[in-house]
A and B are shown apart, each in its own frame.
Chain A
């Protein structure tokens, strides 16, 4: 392998941090959701990198499960977003604060 493992890990970290910043700053619930997916993908990259450099299939198997969970989560999450939109007519996170004290 020409590219050192640390390069892949750094790339993964950059993508993860970009996703985290997006979660914290965006107002639209669906965009927040997409940023979360980005974070998940960054983790997937880390796992696959390790799997390649250690020669083990376990990392990739785990990535498969992560993908499956992400799929399930996206389905449910978007259903929730739709339900909230029906009630509140908005997906702006600032306005969905009924759990406020």
Chain B
């Protein structure tokens, strides 16, 4: 048991636990907090996978911007907790759970049965500098320049849309 695998299992357990707690929690604000914890776990996992820039961006963009926005909206709308589910679970819930478990089974089967491309489980350690800022920058401004530029247009459009939608009438 290396330190890495130990860390992986710990982070994995943490991520799954917070995810489950998030969907079971009735108060939206507490759900948001759980999700933020989940994102932290994921960021650590990214670091394990040599995605340094993305780990930082996960914290900065996802937790720092998106989840802040979500919490802001929750507080703005002053939403209360959802009511406790009473009586038997609805059809929708049962079907949803069944489907979700079925989907999981399929994916696990696929992952376990089919060989991952690129010669087996471990094919040599990835280079340390795989996901650094420099290499990401090379990729973004080199091979992926067009998607990069298009994404900026997308962000502009989203900005405009958000402003228009949230504007008060009149």
Interface residues of A (CB under 8 A from B): 1-11, 13-22, 24-28, 30-31, 33-35, 37-38, 41, 44-45, 48-49, 51-55, 57-58, 60-61, 63-65, 67-76, 78-83, 85-86, 91
Contact = CB atoms under 8 A, between A and B. Distances in A.
Interface in B108-137: 108, 111-112, 116-118, 121-127, 130-131, 135-136
A52 B124 CA distance: 10
Contacts of A63: 51, 54
Given A70-B66, A75-B69, A5 B121 contact: yes
Contacts, number: 237
Contact of B93 (A25, A61, A69, A71): A25
- Chain B: interface secondary structure? helix
A13 B111 contact: yes
A15 B82 CA distance: 23
B107 to A, nearest CB: 4
A45 B50 CA distance: 12
Nearest to A38: B19
A30 B73 contact: yes
Contacts of A60: 51, 53-54, 130-131, 136, 139
Interface string B1-42: 010110010001001100110110000100110010011001
Say which size band chain B's interface belongs to: 35 or more
A78 B111 contact: no
Contacts of A49: 49
Contacts of A24: 92-93, 95-96, 99-100
Contacts of A22: 22-23
Contact of B28 (A30, A57, A67): A30
Contact of B12 (A11, A21, A37, A64): A11
Contact of B5 (A2, A20, A44): A2
